[in-house]
Amino acid sequence: MTTYLDRGPKPEGGRFLNFHHVTFWVGNAKQAASYYCEKLGFEPLCYRGLETGHREVVSHVVRQKDAIFVFQSPLNPGNREFAEHMEKHGDGVKDIAFAVEDLDYIVALAKRRGAEILKDISEERDTHGSVRSATLKTCGDTSHTLVEIGGYSGPFLPNFHPHPESTPNNTSVKPRKGEPCGVRFVDHCVLNQPDEQMLPVVEWYEKILQFHRFWSVDDKQIHTEYSALRSIVMTNFDETIKMPVNEPAPGKRKSQIQEYVEYYGGPGTQHIALNTDDIIRSIKEMRARGMTFLKAPDTYYQQLRDKLKTSKVRVVEDLEELQKLSILIDYDDNGYLLQIFTRPMQDRPTLFIEIIQRRNHQGFGAGNFKALFEAIEQEQAARGNL
């Protein structure tokens, strides 16, 4: 495992602030949005569709504190762009949007360095003000929208209307199903690549967005008896946006990275990590809502207890509780993180969600990769894909 301490020179202009929102292209946006609300504790925020004058694509926006997901579907037959994307990829992440400052500088630099601009700088306006944005192509069919908010005061973006399910109707008050699940923001988004495609994507982030390497592992460190991976985490200068880039490494059998690439039809977003400051409460609430997670073997916790006896770190949480919930722990001398992974969020074994809590630890669970891989390999075997 390598942690990179050198951020490189500060960019002369342009600043990346944080994840702004994540856009999913799905077969049924209304139902997908409802699923994420029901299972993960998101709540309806905004809407665009036929009732708001948007005739081609419907958008359902859901939010949990600073984590915003947008689910989109076509409204009419014959939308070839959506149809081809859905046929190839199934439900998945189409765009990962970043909030930025000095959009003009960022886009001009990207153009000079050869980026493919899917949508040049444009401005949208409503009664709350205006927002400027542009969209760049990254790996595969995934894109990054750069959003310059400025003084915009609306709840999301211009010309989105309050979601029809966010307020009660005239005859009844909408019952609340469970409590919010404690998600605070998007911690990181992971991109899976085919074998030998990780480095070109890493170099794209370095060249086009002026990101730098933050953390990495290779297949000597991350492997099981059957499979392995390599990963490099890219981040902006302020280190507020983390984008791990993974690729499979040769193994005896098919790795979960390769399984993703085959079922997604190429590179794309493997998982989104949602940050919480109380993972035990979050997972209890999500489990009560019916969300299902990967199960860690009991031997993992037996080994963990033995290792922690000689460690400087002191875990505040009850280990019995963590074991019962299958929450994993990774640590160093300075702190630790707690993490858990859902099963795939759709029928194809592609995108899943991670819930993570950090206690003075900025890693990505390298110490848990073996346990995670073994749990995923059990699922792969059940699917006939190991």
Going from the C-alpha of 324 to that of each of 43, 183, 283, 307, 320, the distances in angstroms are 28, 21, 11, 19, 6
Amino acid code (one letter) for 153: S
Region of residue 242 (phi > 0: left; psi between -120 and 50: alpha; otherwise: beta): beta
3-state secondary structure at position 262: helix
CA 279 centroid distance within chain: 17
Kindly state the DSSP code that residue 265 receives in the 8-state scheme.
T
* Nearest-10 Cα torsion for 87, 137, 161, 73: 0
Distance CA 180, CA 150 (A): 29
3-state secondary structure at position 358: strand
Q: Which of 63, 233, 235 is nearest to 71 (CA)?
A: 63
Q: 188 a known binding residue?
A: yes
Q: 21 a known binding residue?
A: no
- β-strand partners of 73: 58
Which positions ≥6 away from 218 have C-beta within 8 Å? 230, 249
Q: Which of 135, 126, 145, 164 is nearest to 30 (CA)?
A: 164
Q: 60 a known binding residue?
A: no
**Binding-site entries:** 188, 271, 354
**Binding-site entries for Fe cation:** 188, 271, 354
